[in-house]
Structure formats: C-alpha cells, structure tokens
C-alpha cells in the first residue's frame, strides 16, 4: 500500500478561458499520509476546495495527476471513478448534505448500501452511531436535529463505507464552538481509533490544531507545512501571510 492515502503531483486546475481564466491550482504537489489527520488552510479563493475536490475525484485536474492510494484517478473512466469514490472515499460538506426524507439511521447507512454492503457492516454502523453519540436520535429526520447533530450524522455517514480517506470541507464552519469541538474530536478519534485518513479544510486555527499537520495554500500554491500545530502557531503563521501581502 502507498504511504499516502491520497496525493496530487504538479496539480494545475484552470477554470474558464481567456479573460475569465482562473488558475485555482498552480502546480501543487502534496501527499496526505495514510492514518493521519491533515488540515488545509489558506485565504478565501486560494484553492482549498478545488484541491480537495480534485484529490477526491469529484473534479478533474487540467494537468498533473491525482492518486487515491496506488490508483491514478486520471486513468479511470466515469464508472470506475464512481465506484472508487463509493468504496474508498468519504466526504463531509459544510452544508451537511443529508437526505431530508431519510432518518438518521438511513442517512448513515446510505453510502454503505450504495457500495453494496458487507457482512460485518451492521457492527461497524453500530460502532459509528456510538462514536457520534446519536443513538437516541436514530429515527429522527435531519430537520428535527440541531446543526451540530446534523453534522455528526454527516461525519458518521462519511465513515460508513469504511473509506481509506475522508475529505471534510469546513465541517465546523456552520457550528457553534461546542458542536464544532465535538465534530473535530470525532474526526480525530476516527484517525486514531479506526486508522482512517482525514483531510479537512478549515479557516479556524483552533480546528486546525486538532490535526497532525497543517498545510497552507496561497494563490493556488502550497506555501508551507506545519507539524504538531497549536492554535497560536497557526495564528502566527496566518498573520505572517497577511503581512507578506499574500492574503486576498
Ligand atoms: N466552478 C468554478 N468556475 C470558475 N472559477 C472557480 C470555480 N470554482 C472555483 N473557482 C475559482 O477558483 C479559485 C479557488 O476556489 P476555491 O473554491 O478552491 O477556493 P477556497 O480556497 O476553497 O476558498 P474559500 O475559503 O472561500 O472556500 C477562486 O478564485 C474561485 O473563484
Ligand atoms: Mg472552499
């Protein structure tokens, strides 16, 4: 197995053409180590979501390559890519993206059911339900939950198919600090207890400090990496960008 759960090499992503052209990624090479929690930070528009979407196979690069484990995404057809996403990748979006007509339990098991299911899945789902602390809400619908509870469902759903890597785009962006802490703790637990790989975009230094490593983007480029982050060190680093005029 590759030491990286996901990686991009010389990744370039250009949106639009001519006057409207935007280089959202301008030559990024970056690996997300297996079994680790990585945070991606950078100013608005620096390419964080684009990087995550391209690394996860939700969008394609203009040039360069993206791998999930040993599989190069650019070599896959649409059907193979869909299967790979279902079997090996999980997502947590800022806006939850739960299915409003399904219960909590159904929302959590949906990706697993789509992926075809496995014999020991019921047990795994039970573990996840306990990890996210939603046993007493299993038959509620998303509209009957708080924002923090909905995001916890989204986290459980992302891990339901036992993906190699979970990508989370500002998973705490819509939450109060207490719910946010819970979601971050869950993501950290998933890495440390179930050996998953998590990649999370965040604007919050406190959230980023939950990760093992923080990578910093600016103008579509990788500009720094920080191991063993603390909120203060991350904040200082972000301030340094501001002073250098890198921030939009
Ligand atoms: N579909 C698109 N079409 C054209 N330009 C796009 C598209 N998606 C993103 N961009 C542009 O690409 C750049 C990077 O966008 P991206 O969404 O990756 O930024 P981000 O770092 O996630 O920002 P934020 O922190 O605001 O979410 C931005 O300049 C954006 O306007
Ligand atoms: Mg974004």
Q: What is the pLDDT of residue 33?
A: 94
164 Cβ contact list (under 8 Å, min separation 6): 5, 6, 34, 68, 69, 88, 89, 196, 197
pTM, two decimals, is 0.90
Q: What is the pLDDT of residue 248?
A: 47
Residue ID of nearest Cα to ligand 1 atom 25: 44
Q: Which atom, in ligand 1's list, is nearest to the CA of 52?
A: 18
Please identify every stretch of the chain with a pLDDT value under 50, giving residue numbers as ranges.
247-248
Q: Is the CB of 15 under 6 A from ligand 1?
A: yes
Q: What is the pLDDT of residue 117?
A: 67
Q: What is the pLDDT of residue 176?
A: 82
Q: What is the pLDDT of residue 119?
A: 61
Which helix H or strand E contains 122, and what residues bound it? helix 121-132
Q: Is the CB of 24 under 6 A from ligand 1?
A: yes
Q: Is the CB of 13 under 6 A from ligand 1?
A: no
Q: Is the CB of 47 under 6 A from ligand 1?
A: yes
Q: Is the CB of 240 under 6 A from ligand 1?
A: no
Q: Which atom, in ligand 1's list, is nearest to the CA of 53?
A: 18
Q: Write the pLDDT tens digit of every residue in 66-111.
A: 999 999 999 999 999 999 998 899 999 877 789 999 999 999 988 7
Cα distance between residue 155 and residue 49, in whole Å: 18
User: How many Å lie between the centroid of ligand 2 and the Cα of residue 49?
Assistant: 4
- Order the strands of the 37-41 sheet from edge to edge: 89-92, 165-169, 197-201, 37-41, 213-218, 221-227
Q: Is the CB of 202 under 6 A from ligand 1?
A: no
Q: Is the CB of 31 under 6 A from ligand 1?
A: no
82 Cβ contact list (under 8 Å, min separation 6): none
Q: Is the CB of 17 under 6 A from ligand 1?
A: no
User: How many Å lie between the centroid of ligand 2 and the Cα of residue 50?
Assistant: 7
User: How many Å lie between the centroid of ligand 2 and the Cα of residue 199?
Assistant: 13
Ion ligand 2 neighbours, Cβ < 5 Å? 49
């Amino acid at each position: 197995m590759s030491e990286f759960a996901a990686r991009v090499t010389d990744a370039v992503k250009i949106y639009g053409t001519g006057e409207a052209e935007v280089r959202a990624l301008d030559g990024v090479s970056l690996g997300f180590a297996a079994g680790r929690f990585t945070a991606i930070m950078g100013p608005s528009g620096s390419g964080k979501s684009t990087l995550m979407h391209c690394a996860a196979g939700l969008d394609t690069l203009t040039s360069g390559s993206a791998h999930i484990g040993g599989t190069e995404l650019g070599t896959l057809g649409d059907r193979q890519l869909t299967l790979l996403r279902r079997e090996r990748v999980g997502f947590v979006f800022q806006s939850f993206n739960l299915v409003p007509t399904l219960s909590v339990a159904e929302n959590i098991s949906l990706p697993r059911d789509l992926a075809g299911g496995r014999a020991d899945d019921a047990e795994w789902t039970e573990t996840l339900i306990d990890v996210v602390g939603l046993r007493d809400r299993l038959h509620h619908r998303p509209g009957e939950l708080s924002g923090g509870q909905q995001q916890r469902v989204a986290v459980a759903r992302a891990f339901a198919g036992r993906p190699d890597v979970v990508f989370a785009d500002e998973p705490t962006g819509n939450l109060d600090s207490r719910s946010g802490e819970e979601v971050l703790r869950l993501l950290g637990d998933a890495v440390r207890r179930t050996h998953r790989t998590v990649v999370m975009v965040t604007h919050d230094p406190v959230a980023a400090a939950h990760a093992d490593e923080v990578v910093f983007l600016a103008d579509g480029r990788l500009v720094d990496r920080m191991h063993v982050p603390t909120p203060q060190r991350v904040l200082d680093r972000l301030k340094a960008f501001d002073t250098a005029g890198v921030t939009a």
